[in-house]
Structure 1
């Protein structure tokens, strides 16, 4: 027989049991799963446009963009390029006070907001590293290779000393190294032959460098010129849609260039031209014929 006291003890025990958490017999809790965070998308690396290799894998040569008449949405374009020349043996002349740079020209291009391409020799970048770095860092400009020493890549090129064939690639690489040392972070894979002189041997020698050789179709005639009006007239008479103009960024050898540019730029803008960098002209040359604006023709 169950006594009254034992019954009350049993009821109290059962009441206590119903209030305990049922952890022992409950289903195990499944941890909340969060999808892994998507990996950060790396910024797209800008690859400057280049031309496909020429015959037998030779270095391709670019002279001008397609001759489009231009429209309101796609104006006619022209690229001003400036050679910053300095040979490997001109250090003593610079030390004696000769100026191979032209800060006034660079400032004028900035003031007039003219996109431009500078073809530097490695020796120039070594002599003027702060200027080379500032030009390379300015989004208005781009820096390309004009050899290290400004020695010719062919024989009989305006009296310039000649780089032997086995040293041509080394000369180009040395210039790129000088740019990096000066702080030019993104020199473009474009190369301009000193004096514009090249042959099949030079094109074969530079093929492993992966550069596009950039020539021109308008000679500014500013080398050693003292009359800015004559330089301006020569440029204005020669420019066509898609043109590449060669001028110089050297005070001692091209003292009239900055003043000529002050005439050239507004005159060409009055004619409806838009100034672009060489990379943009090369990109236009790579555009398939079917996607070019109406009126575009090949050179």
Structure 2
């Protein structure tokens, strides 16, 4: 009986395709990782025994900012707002209100594009234009950076490393971990269950579609305080590690 041997052309065709698919899958995994990048520093939480937690909000500022600030004032906690340059330019008064209230502004790029297949000039523009607007809003401390959707690959981490800055991620994300993001009570439960000392919590509260997340803030703050946690900004959290 004649032994079956795959045609050589088929092998030479399939192997490169498989290699390409595996490479693309690996690239996607790295770009989406909450705990790894090729260059520079990345923080998704701080390893500490202190019961501290950083509450962070992405996007904005928008017309909904005053409502967010009111909720935080009533809860008596400080937070870090990772804002986009485009929205900060459209609502500079809200950026200034965030700073006046004692909260921290962070950089979330100018246009909120995914920072994966982009070049160095694009990265520089996205970061530095937003930095300038954050300074104009009155922020005087270090400006921390968080990539849109947590996506980063080569150009962005390289730029941040060259400027002695790191990527700020998160380890608690109730809106995208399988929790019912339309249920404030479910969001609160998820945060209480998953928060550890040194956690960074991510929420989106700036748009009407995210009202459940904003509605969850009083409950999750009260619940964490009952468990002995105190709320700090990202800068204060990083200082504990140092």
If you compute each CA radius of gyration, which structure gives the higher value, 1 or 2?
1
Q: TM-score, normalised by structure 1?
A: 0.63
What is aligned with 1:66?
47
Quote the RMSD (CA, aligned, Å). 2.5
| Residue 189 to residue 273, structure 1, CA distance change in 2 (3 Å) | same
What is aligned with 1:130?
93
For residue 240 of structure 1, the aligned residue among 187, 190, 196 is 196
| Residue 222 to residue 204, structure 1, CA distance change in 2 (3 Å) | closer
How far has the Cα of 1:174 moved from its partner? 0.8
Q: TM-score, normalised by structure 2?
A: 0.76
Contact 2:53 2:230 in 1 (8 A): yes
What is aligned with 1:142?
104
How far has the Cα of 1:187 moved from its partner? 5.5
Contact 2:172 2:194 in 1 (8 A): yes
Q: Secondary structure at the match of 2:197?
A: coil
In structure 2, runs of 5+ residues without a counterpart are 1-35
| Residue 164 to residue 255, structure 1, CA distance change in 2 (3 Å) | farther
For residue 164 of structure 2, the aligned residue among 206, 210, 232 is 210
| Residue 265 to residue 204, structure 1, CA distance change in 2 (3 Å) | same
For residue 140 of structure 2, the aligned residue among 186, 189, 200 is 186
What is aligned with 1:227?
183
Contact 2:116 2:154 in 1 (8 A): no
Q: Which moved more, 1:217-226 or 1:122-131?
A: 217-226
Q: Which moved more, 1:199-208 or 1:221-230?
A: 221-230
Q: How many residues are paired up?
A: 205
Contact 1:59 1:206 in 2 (8 A): yes
Inter-partner Cα distance in structure 2 for 1:55 and 1:194: 15
How far has the Cα of 1:55 moved from its partner? 10
How far has the Cα of 1:222 moved from its partner? 7.2
